[in-house]
Amino acid sequence: MREEMKALIADTFTEMLEKEDLDKITVTKLIEECQISRQTFYYHYRDILDVLEWAFGQAAQNLAKQSMEAENEVDAVQIYLNFVRDNKIKLEKLRDSKRWVQIERILIESVMKYLRQMARNKAPGFEISVDDAEMLLCFYAYGMTGVLLQYAGRKIDEKKLAYQLERIITGKLSLSQYQ
């Protein structure tokens, strides 16, 4: 029941984000839209950004699950690109928000969560220290987030971008090859 209410609030929030800017979505508007009490909202979330963080976490979990079922790594990255394309309007509204610094951190943490889950499932026997793994995850999360935000909203060849990102992630594409 608790998770269902959290999901209802988060789903309503994401629907509202389709129609209006993040900075205009208040707890008051959200609880009116959900038809719940303020107490119910605060039982589940601290504030609007907490709702956003939970929604991103759920999306990262779902994307990782879908990616595990992909036939290959390029298709797994394509699933992520599809998510960005399908949520282009919401991402633009988030990027244009006064709260962008906090939102960017949440986005990067969500991408790290996604990459961590992918790494555990795709390379379980890979030997690397915890510190090095965290550094790699951080590097790739910032890089992927930056690339995805750079290309969001542009007409691009998504298959090519998915292939390039897969090659970067797997180490098949690096600057040492550039001459």
Using H for helix, E for strand and C for coil, what is the string for 11-74? HHHHHHHHHCCHHHCCHHHHHHHHCCCHHHHHHHCCCHHHHHHHHHHHHHHHHHHHHHCCCCHH
Assess if residue 179 is contained within a domain: no
Assess if residue 34 is contained within a domain: no
- What φ, ψ does residue 127 adopt, rounded to 5°? -95, 115
Assess if residue 4 is contained within a domain: no
pLDDT digits (tens, 9 = 90+) for 54-75: 998 898 888 888 988 888 888 9
Q: Kindly report the number of other CB atoms within 10 A of residue 119's CB atom.
A: 17
Assess if residue 36 is contained within a domain: no
* Domain total of the chain: 1
Assess if residue 61 is contained within a domain: yes
Q: Kindly report the number of other CB atoms within 10 A of residue 49's CB atom.
A: 16
Assess if residue 17 is contained within a domain: no
Assess if residue 10 is contained within a domain: no
Pair 92, 153: CB distance under 8 Å: yes
Question: How far apart, in whole angstroms, are the C-alpha atoms of residue 21 and residue 165?
Answer: 30
Assess if residue 42 is contained within a domain: no
pLDDT of residue 179: 58
Structural domain containing residue 54: 49-174
pLDDT digits (tens, 9 = 90+) for 89-135: 888 888 889 999 988 888 888 888 888 877 777 666 667 888 988 89
The enclosing domain of 58 has a CATH number of 1.10.357.10
Pair 152, 88: CB distance under 8 Å: yes
Nearest to 166 by CA among 129, 106, 115: 115
Amino acid at 112: M
pLDDT of residue 120: 76
Averaged confidence pLDDT in the chain: 87
Amino acid at 83: F
